Structure 1
Amino acid sequence: MNLNKVIFLMGVSGCGKSTIGELLSEELRIPFFDGDDYHPQANIKKMSDGIPLNDEDRYDWLVTLNKLAKNQLQNNSCVIVCSALKESYRKILSRDIPNQVKWVHLEGSFDQIFERLNSRENHFMSSDLLQSQFDTLEQPKNALVVNIGLKPQEIVEKITKKIKMKSEFGLFGLGVMGKSLSRNLAQKGFTISLFNRELKGTEENVAIDFKSAHKELESAKAFSDIEAFVNSLQTPRRIMLMVNAGNITDMVIEDLIPYLSDGDVLIDGGNSNYLKTKERYDYLKAKNIHFIGVGVSGGEEGALKGPSIMPGGNKEIYNLVKPYLDSIAAKDRNNLPCCTYIGEEGSGHFVKMVHNGIEYVEMQLLAEVYTMLKHLGNNPDEIADILESFTCKANSYLLGITVDILRKKDGDDWLVNKIVDKAGNKGTGNWTTIATAQLGAPSTLIASALFARYTSFYKEERLEASNNFRSNPSAINLNIEDVLNAYQFARIVNHYQGLKLISEAGKAYNWQLNLSEIARIWTNGCIIKSDLIMDLIPVLKEDDNILTSKTIIDQVKSLKPSINKVVSECILNELAIPCLSESVNFFNGYTAAYSAANLIQAQRDYFGAHTYQRTDDASGKFHHTNW
């Protein structure tokens, strides 16, 4: 459906239609056409001879202008100046395009316009014909009426205020997140254009049907044609891509490029790999098109009600889209948007990727707590009650939804008991694990959570292995307080590792990252929002390493005996708790003043002459031994 518009500026001769039309077209950046230029020669001669035109004279001229309008509307909106004095004339002008026509009537008194006509030189319309025009004029019913006594610029401002021809913001892709974000933008009062591809016979009228289904989208423009979609937007255009990460994003960019102009801004709101974001940033920069990689967290509900938003790219260009992103973002406890400028290039997508890595661990830790509580003989309702009691000390979004999940019944049984124990993933955990290896940062819990999901997928092998290797474990000796403390311990280690990974990326890529601000925008709208994140905001203002904070140190010391006990009991009783066990393994290694890495370095020197440094040589010189 084409939603371009034609503005017909109408009124008697001498009312200033041409002057206002040219100014309006410049303001809206759309083509301008003066209807007088399309009169046949016979009409011009008749008017020059002082003979008024009749309806028959005007008919072919009006049909010509109608064709002009329809041709223009295929690609863009436009302004056409035409006296259009009678209702019958206006019907001809709007034939086949009534919903795409906007009428603006420039109104003035006879004396006012008569004076203007007499001061106008070299025009075929004589002031002697003015009275016939007033006699012919039939007041339009559905037109914006503007008094010509205003200054030309004031008239143009009044028209543009009433007739918003171009949308402020474009959404490309109406999947779950795209739909929610578009509704969010519309609810905030922004004029938006929506685009979704159509597949004949399977997916048709996606954008139009979506627009029709939601009242807040009444003023939105819906498209399945890329060129019309792009042309519907104000320049510089701001287009948010909500498509699947990977090659599809590149294909969409290539489809858009032919219709974009210098200075337009593309915003990738998908879960793209940060390295690809850097490539796209550089590629589009060479074409004078700006690119911003934006991490969006919160799922379907968050996108609609307010997500956490992590934008990265050129800061000056980010300011062009900041009002839109700030408006739709969730609000923190101080009513500030959970959106902040992260840094250059792919930093926004990197931070979102790590957010998802932390999320993987938080989910896995809850699954391990669930495993222990189930092994203690609790049913899902009882486990839900126990987890709900955790909220006074460890409240989080994921804890809350886990309680809801465990209480959900399906018939006579709990739904969770009927769900196959194979966990999927969409790639961000994999990317985070690769990134932590590339940057040399020990985010071991993220890797453990990812590999736990991979292990779960070997369901058939696990069933066979269970028969071949499992013994009958004895009852574990754990109390609920120890379970809660172990859970909290592992969560602190998880957040340390995730934030450390972000810090190391900032150093490696020269991104000026503010970890306290990143923690702040994670306090609402996102999947990992929690009381712990809230507590880390002031801690991160002092140091990027949360394990140097006296408050955190004291907390970890008090929790350490519980994690030791929980992990020991679970291992002895053959319960898989990969993230809980890794948290204490990492911590024991991290806090060891002297490790066994000296032996590893000696081994490397033995077989590969990789050298080593000596504890009794303060110079830092590297040595080699002929073993």
Structure 2
Amino acid sequence: MKKVIFVIGVSGCGKSTIGKLLAQELDIPFFDGDDFHPEHNVTKMSSGQALNDDDRQGWLETLNDLAKKQLKENSCIIVCSALKETYRDTLSRDIESKAKWVHLSGSFEQIFKRMNSRSDHFMPSELLKSQFDILEHPKDALQIDISLTPENIVKTIKNKLMNTSEFGLFGLGVMGKSLCRNLANNGFKISMFNRHVDGVEEHVAKNFKAEYPELSEASDFDDIFAFVNSLQQPRRIMLMVNAGKTIDYVIEDLLPHLSENDIIIDGGNSNYKKTKERYDYLKSKGIHFIGTGVSGGEEGALKGPSIMPSGDKEAYEKVAPFLETISAKDKNGLPCCTYVGTEGSGQFIKMVHNGIEYVEMQLLAEVSTIIEALGQKPDDIANTLDGWKNAASSYLLEITTAIFRKKEGDEWLVKKILDKAGNKGTGNWTTIASAELGVPSTLIASALFSRYVSFYKDERIQLNKNFESVNSSELNLTTNDVLEAYQFARIINHYQGFKLIAEASNKYQWNLNLSEIARIWTNGCIIRSTLMEELVEVFKHTDNILTHPQLIAYVKQYMPALKKVVSQSILNDISTPALGEAIHFLIGITTKYASANVIQAQRDFFGAHTYQRLDDDSGKSYHTNWN
């Protein structure tokens, strides 16, 4: 990948000499930043006056423009003082991932002596102290001691910057491999690691590299020490391994080889609470930890997923150029990747994403079953679903349509699949988090438990014999009724999912931006849809979508159809738990005076739990001797 190497340091440290030698060694253009100072700056320094930030700003912007222009053709080397972090930010603006820093450092006495020995520079040695006074040592630069010979300095820079990788990926499962190819296709030099297990996992990284031409410049490893040391510092290592204890084992394996300020990114479906624990643990070791949700499956990981990173904001800035480059892009061309917030908030919203996904999948399964009960065969169902894309377009609707079209020989493949749905745990965690936070995410729980019911296949067969089913030939519905019921339930699903995120944000003080979360879910992820695109704008005005005028109108419009679909399904013994829960929830959440008064009276009767009264707004608690 083309890159700009900025050789920086105070005046007199040897930047120009080293820059020229390095450019010759690498056969790339060299530019001395001093040559681009405006006349005003040269005059000011020549008269013994130090430049201020205003003097430098235009000069830094000129060098930034130069770097951008050069990158269109080739790598290059630019030498300049760049003593402050803000200066370096200006120099690398919009090219952060392609900017590499080399800091030539030495003592004041050492450099002052050098400056007094040169006679061809406009800056007098008396200004050196002013440069040392404002110098902010760069954290992410390759530090070079100027006591070394120029030849050794050039050799060190070449080995550390040109022969090392920018990004490491640990774990070459399906998602890990796709992310590697995505990074490589975007021009990043990467290192790939997969463990070696005799007879089980042998030469995985090596064989993977050989399989794809885009990985020709990637480095492959099955030795952790070699893998870690192949990376530029601060090292950026993304873990794509199974959630749980495996993450902790990998961290412990990596730690002995890491250096302060290295960054570990967990890209798996880890529990958000464990992410906070790992963040705190690694912080004590001087290592940054970023918990990152990644959605999009194998194809998304390859072509552009939705990425949800959280943790240390400063550490995120160091990996943002990589993650934002490989992510999907929204309709405005912006990356579907954003810094979510602190702690494990990124993994929390990925967990909720998966909960919403569970419901969307369950709803499509239910509506497909209803449409089949109306007499449609799989190809007809596919055509019906395809006809919904203008009104309710989504990735899951699209793939479900394709599923009902797929044949194996002369038979529909979907009818050959065992009706037992698995899960990997995120639906469980979402349901548990809902209970812990006291948020009624009832559709997510319903979709999860529907999967559990499906797993009892043998018992379902047995019990089917004991209970006679009603003939569904009397199903009095149209496919438009089913469509409107589906749209209603999806609005409730998204209400509940984002309500859970909002409550978690308040509880943990994450300050999450619901509109921005919706935006990064508009492309790349599994739950992308036109509804999600609408919610980006909705959440700019409210954090409760059931208070938004347009969505209120939709819900009112679709409610009669959902009531009809659910009642007809019950009468005809068609199981619709998610559709049914959607209408039950809305009725419950919009009921002004609920039946909970009876429950509270019961609690007070047997447990003296007390109650409050409608005719006393003081908040006082009452207890009654009910006997």
> What band does the TM-score fall into relative to the shorter chain?
0.7 to 0.9
Deviation at 1:152, TM superposition (A): 5.0
User: Hey, what does 1:532 align to over in structure 2?
Assistant: 531
In structure 1, distance between residues paired with 2:605 and 2:323: 57
Match of residue 51 from structure 1: none
Q: Are the structure 2 counterparts of residues 580 and 153 from structure 1 closer, same or farther at C-alpha, using a change threshold of 3 Å?
A: farther
Q: Secondary structure at the match of 2:162?
A: coil
Q: Residues of 2 paired with 1:553 and 1:161: CA distance? A: 62
157 and 330 in structure 1: CA distance in 2 versus 1, 3 angstrom threshold: farther
Q: In structure 2, give the amino acid aligned to 1:403.
A: T
Instruction: Note closer, same or farther for the CA distance 1:561–1:190 as it changes in structure 2 (3 Å cut).
Output: same
* Cα 1:20–1:555 shift into 2, 3 Å: closer
1:468 to 463, 466, 473: 466
- DSSP-derived class of the 2:265 partner: strand
Q: How does 1:376-415 map to 2 (within 5 A)?
A: 376-415=374-413
1:62-461 equivalences under 5 Å are 156=154, 160=158, 164-461=162-459
1:619–1:362: structure 2 CA closer, same or farther, 3 Å change rule?
A: same
- Larger mean CA deviation between 514-523 and 466-475 belongs to 466-475
Is 1:544 matched up with 2:543? yes
Q: What SS is found at the alignment partner of 1:541?
A: coil
SS at match of 2:286: coil
Deviations 1:559-580 (A, max 9, x none): 1100010001001111100000
Distance 1:203 1:515 in 2: 42
CA distance 1:159–1:435, change in 2 (3 Å): closer
**Aligned residue in 2 for 1:602:** 601
C-alpha separation in 1, matches of 2:467 and 2:381: 28
C-alpha displacement of 1:471: 2.5
Q: Deviations over 1:441-464 (max 9, x none)?
A: 000000000000000000011011
CA distance in 2, matches of 1:530, 1:259: 43
Q: State the Cα distance separating 1:314 from its structure 2 match.
A: 1.2
Q: Deviations over 1:535-559 (max 9, x none)?
A: 1111001111110000100111001
Deviates more, 1:465-474 or 1:205-214: 465-474
Q: Could you tell which deviates more after superposition, 610-619 or 158-167?
A: 158-167
- 5+ residue gaps, structure 2, are 1-13, 23-148
Paired AA for residue 275 in structure 1 = K
CA RMSD of aligned residues (A): 2.2
> CA–CA distance in 2 between the matches of 1:296 and 1:560?
34
Partner Cα distance (1:159, 1:312) in 2: 32
Displacement of 1:159: 6.8
1:507 maps to a residue whose letter is: N
Amino acid in structure 1 at the alignment position of 2:246 = I
- Paired amino acid for 1:244: N
Highest CA radius of gyration, 1 or 2?
1
Q: State the alpha-carbon separation in 2 of the partners of residues 154 and 554 from structure 1.
A: 72
Structure 1 residue aligned with 2:63: none
For 1:457, the aligned partner's letter is F
The one-letter code matched in structure 2 to 1:565 is: K
Aligned equivalents of 1:161 and 1:249: distance in 2? 31
1:425 positional shift: 0.4
Provide Cα deviations, 1:66-122, integer angstroms capped at 9, x if missing partner.
xxxxxxxxxxxxxxxxxxxxxxxxxxxxxxxxxxxxxxxxxxxxxxxxxxxxxxxxx
Q: CA deviation at 1:204?
A: 1.1
Match of 2:51?
none
Alignment of 1:586-597 (within 5 A): 586-597=585-596
TM-score (norm 2): 0.75
Q: Which amino acid aligns with 1:504?
A: E
Displacement of 1:155 in angstroms is 8.7
- The 8 Å contact of residues 169 and 176 in structure 2, kept in 1 or not, is answered as yes
Report how many residues are paired.
485
Q: Report if the CA contact (8 A) 2:386-2:398 is conserved.
A: yes
Q: Distance in 2 between matches of 1:265 and 1:514?
A: 25
Instruction: Using the TM superposition, give the Cα deviation of residue 472 of structure 1 relative to its aligned residue in structure 2, in angstroms.
Output: 3.0
- Specify the alignment match of 1:39 in structure 2: none
1:537 is aligned with what amino acid?
A: V
Can you list the C-alpha shifts for 1:359-403, whole angstroms capped at 9, x where unaligned? 000000000001101111111000000000010100000000001
Provide the C-alpha distance between the structure 2 equivalents of 1:293 and 1:561, rounded to a whole number of angstroms. 43
Alpha-carbon separation, structure 1, partners of 2:355 and 2:530: 18
Offset of residue 200 of structure 1: 1.4
Q: Deviations over 1:15-47 (max 9, x none)?
A: x9xx979x98xxxxxxxxxxxxxxxxxxxxxxx
One-letter amino acid of the structure 2 residue matched with residue 451 of structure 1? F
Q: Give 1:202 shift.
A: 2.6
Secondary structure of the residue that 1:612 maps to in structure 2?
coil
Is this contact kept in 1: 2:160–2:232, CA < 8 A?
A: no
Distance across 1 between alignment mates of 2:622 and 2:293: 46
- Match of residue 624 from structure 1: 623
Quote the Cα distance in structure 1 between the aligned partners of 2:486 and 2:557. 13
Could you tell me which runs of 5 or more consecutive residues in structure 1 were left unpaired when the two chains were aligned.
1-15, 25-150
The Cα shift of 1:199 comes to 1.3
Contact kept? 2:171, 2:193, Cα under 8 Å? yes
Please give the alpha-carbon distance, in whole angstroms, between the structure 2 residues aligned to 1:157 and 1:311: 36
CA distance in 1, matches of 2:201, 2:340: 37
Q: Which amino acid aligns with 1:371?
A: T
- The residue correspondences of 1:12-91 to structure 2 (distance < 5 A) are none
Question: What is the rounded CA distance, in whole Å, between the counterparts of 1:315 and 1:624 in structure 2?
Answer: 50
Q: Secondary structure at the match of 1:622?
A: coil
Relative distance call for 1:153 and 1:539 in structure 2 (3 A) is farther
3-state secondary structure, aligned to 1:366: helix
8 Å contact from structure 2 (residues 161, 232) kept in 1 = no
Do the aligned partners of 2:294 and 2:305 also contact (CA within 8 Å) in 1? yes
Distance in 1, Cα, partners of 2:527 & 2:155: 46
AA aligned opposite 1:447: A
Q: 2:345 & 2:377 partners in 1: Cα distance?
A: 43
Report the equivalent of 1:507: 506
Question: Matched residue of 2:540: which SS?
Answer: helix
TM-score of the aligned structures, taking structure 1 as reference length: 0.75
1:163 Cα deviation from its structure 2 partner? 6.8
Q: CA–CA distance in 1 between the matches of 2:428 and 2:569?
A: 27
Classify the secondary structure of the residue corresponding to 1:613.
coil
SS at structure 2 position matched to 1:204: coil
Offset of residue 160 of structure 1: 3.4
In the TM superposition, 1:566-585 aligns within 5 A as 566-585=565-584
Aligned residue identity for 2:520? I
Within 2, Cα distance between the matches of 1:249 and 1:174? 14
**Identity percentage of aligned residues:** 66
Query: Displacement, 1:625?
Result: 1.2
Partner of 2:352, secondary structure, is helix
1:561 matched to 2:563? The reply is no
2 CA distance for matches of 1:592 and 1:159?
69
Distance, in Å, in 1 between the alignment partners of 2:253 and 2:469 is 59
Paired AA for residue 553 in structure 2: D
Kindly report structure 1 stretches of 4+ aligned residues shifted beyond 6 Å: none
Report the Cα distance in structure 2 between the residues aligned to 1:420 and 1:534, rounded to whole angstroms: 34
Q: 1:112: which partner in 2?
A: none
